[in-house]
């Protein structure tokens, strides 16, 4: 691989890691907060439930893509293995990360990028019994484990390329939480206005007392 192609590969992989970190920041700041979950459930439960699942699915798929083999058949893949092998580096650290997300890869292969009939029917039966109607596939790893895996991927990239990218500290144009607080504040404002109208408390003098009673003020 010539220098130009090698640099392009590095930049493509780096971009995937940056976007992965941003999506993970958005997920944690949006859904790993009980008070915010209650706010989202009142504001638009269906939309935010779908958004949560789509975000988790995409994070799972990105983790799998980054740790896929360097090749699929004769086709080269844009992956960490491709980058490390082109640089003739040891893959042991990446092998450990890949092993940690083995359950996520199984999820990708059976549900997310393919629909295995037996697994899908079994999952459907489990999730629609006892009156349940919502099918939800959660990432089968803890938040801390995914945090560590994402950080390790960034560290392996930096060592392979001699860069010092602070992937976990990337600040978007909308702040370190990628605009989540802005979204939450807009939703709080909308629901608070609904409360004011419902209480007929439209005078400015009533706003403070109404705000103290607003159940989502700390979201």
**How would DSSP label each residue in 164-188?**
---GGG--BTTBTTTTHHHHHHHHH
Rounded Cα distance, 167 and 191, in Å = 35
User: Which tokens is 55 given?
Assistant: 């975000």
Compute how many other C-beta atoms are within 10 angstroms of the C-beta atom of residue 186: 11
Give me the pLDDT at residue 206, please: 86
Give me the pLDDT at residue 172, please: 84
Biggest alpha carbon–alpha carbon distance for the chain:
71
The three-state secondary structure class of 73 is coil
* pLDDT digit string (tens) for the chain, length 219 residues: 555 566 799 999 999 999 999 999 999 999 999 999 999 999 999 999 999 999 999 999 999 999 999 999 999 999 999 999 999 999 999 999 999 999 999 988 888 877 767 776 776 666 665 555 444 556 778 899 999 999 999 999 999 999 999 998 888 888 899 999 999 999 999 999 999 999 898 888 888 899 999 999 999
**Rounded to 5 degrees, what are φ and ψ at 73?**
65, -125
Give the residue ranges of DSSP H helices in the chain. 3-31, 34-43, 45-66, 80-86, 92-100, 102-107, 117-127, 143-161, 180-199, 207-213
Contact between 82 and 9 (Cβ < 8 Å): yes
Contact between 72 and 148 (Cβ < 8 Å): no
Contact between 101 and 67 (Cβ < 8 Å): yes
Give me the pLDDT at residue 218, please: 94
Compute how many other C-beta atoms are within 10 angstroms of the C-beta atom of residue 143: 12
Contact between 26 and 176 (Cβ < 8 Å): no
Give me the pLDDT at residue 26, please: 96
- 201 DSSP 8-state letter: -
Cα–Cα–Cα angle for 103, 104, 106, nearest 5°? 65
Give me the pLDDT at residue 133, please: 47
């Amino acid at each position: 691989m010539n220098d130009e192609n090698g640099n392009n590969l590095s930049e493509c992989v780096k971009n995937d890691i940056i976007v992965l970190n941003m999506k993970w920041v958005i997920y944690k700041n949006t859904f790993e907060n009980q008070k915010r979950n209650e706010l989202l459930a009142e504001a638009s439960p269906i939309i935010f439930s779908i958004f949560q699942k789509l975000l988790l699915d995409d994070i799972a798929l990105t983790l799998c893509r980054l740790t896929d083999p360097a090749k699929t058949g004769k086709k080269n893949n844009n992956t960490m293995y491709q980058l490390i092998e082109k640089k003739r580096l040891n893959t042991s650290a990446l092998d450990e990360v890949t092993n940690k997300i083995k359950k996520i890869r199984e999820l990708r292969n059976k549900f997310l990028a393919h629909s295995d009939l037996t697994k899908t029917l079994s999952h459907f039966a489990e999730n629609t019994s006892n009156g349940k109607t919502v099918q939800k596939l959660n990432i089968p790893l803890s938040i801390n484990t995914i945090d560590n895996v994402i950080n390790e991927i960034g560290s392996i990239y930096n060592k392979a390329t001699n860069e010092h990218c602070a992937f976990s500290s990337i600040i978007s144009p909308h702040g370190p939480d990628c605009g989540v607080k802005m979204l939450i504040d807009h939703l709080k404002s909308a629901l608070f206005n609904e409360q004011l109208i419902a209480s007929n408390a439209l005078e400015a003098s009533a706003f403070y007392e109404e705000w103290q009673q607003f159940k989502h003020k700390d979201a």
